[in-house]
A and B are shown apart, each in its own frame.
Chain A
Amino acid sequence: GAGVSQSPSNKVTEKGKDVELRCDPISGHTALYWYRQSLGQGLEFLIYFQGNSAPDKSGLPSDRFSAERTGGSVSTLTIQRTQQEDSAVYLCASSLQGTTGEKLFFGSGTQLSVL
């Protein structure tokens, strides 16, 4: 596609439910990133995939959060047993090679609201 695509654009869920957020990166991009943007906060790094290497999961806030990237393309971020503090905009980005100084292309994000 022309850009990074995220779905759904909005998700409202009840506390305790599991949610899955999807990211389709730009075709051919080997690096994929997930960030979280909470109200009044900057972007918080969550996880980073680069090709076939083991992902950098150091930003995941708890073991309720997990992510996978199938076939080096589409990625899914899963949040189990959602809590109200998980409410935020979840942003996905991709870049061509994941090298120093490289431009990231961001999706429009998924607005997650946990009631």
Chain B
Amino acid sequence: GDSVTQMEGPVTLSEEAFLTINCTYTATGYPSLFWYVQYPGEGLQLLLKATKADDKGSNKGFEATYRKETTSFHLEKGSVQVSDSAVYFCALQPGGTSYGKLTFGQGTILTVHP
């Protein structure tokens, strides 16, 4: 079945450091890929998405490119801020009629220090 594997955390960085959170997936067909974020005390919210190969999703300085050849969707940010401290989830949505059945990674805790 479908699966998503994220790099294990927690990840601790200093402000303005470069961030990469790795995400790889296994799926049949042509899934859509997402990054969701959960800030402290808040619900999950969509950060960015890509719906086909080679698409790049971007938002709030974060980027991720849908790489079908490496089955990856790594999240990057050039300069993190303290306010980026949160839990980040990579997710896969299958194509076809099973699109309601998203598969999430384990989540990666990011802490950014001033």
Contacts and interface: CB of A to CB of B under 8 A. Distances in A.
Contacts of B100: 31, 33, 48, 50, 56, 98
Interface in A75-99: 91, 93, 98-99
B106 A45 contact: no
Contact of A48 (B4, B51, B101): B101
Chain A binding site: helix, strand, loop or mixed by DSSP?
loop
Given A40-B106, A42-B105, A48-B101, A100 B43 contact: no
B106 A104 contact: no
Contacts, number: 63
A70 interface: no
A43 interface: yes
A68 to B, nearest CB: 16
Contact of B104 (A42, A50, A103): A42
Contacts of A98: 99-100
Given A101-B32, A101-B49, A101-B51, A42 B98 contact: no
Interface string B28-51: 000010001000001111100101
A62 interface: no
B103 interface: yes
A109 interface: yes
Interface in B93-114: 93, 95, 98-107
Contact of B98 (A43, A56, A108): A56
A65 interface: no
Contacts of B4: 42
25 contacts: A31-B100, A41-B106, A42-B4, A42-B104, A42-B106, A43-B91, A44-B104, A45-B103, A56-B98, A56-B100, A56-B101, A58-B101, A91-B43, A91-B44, A100-B32, A100-B51, A100-B93, A102-B99, A103-B49, A104-B36, A104-B46, A105-B45, A106-B45, A108-B43, A109-B43
Interface of B: 4, 6, 32, 36, 42-46, 49, 51, 89, 91, 93, 95, 98-107
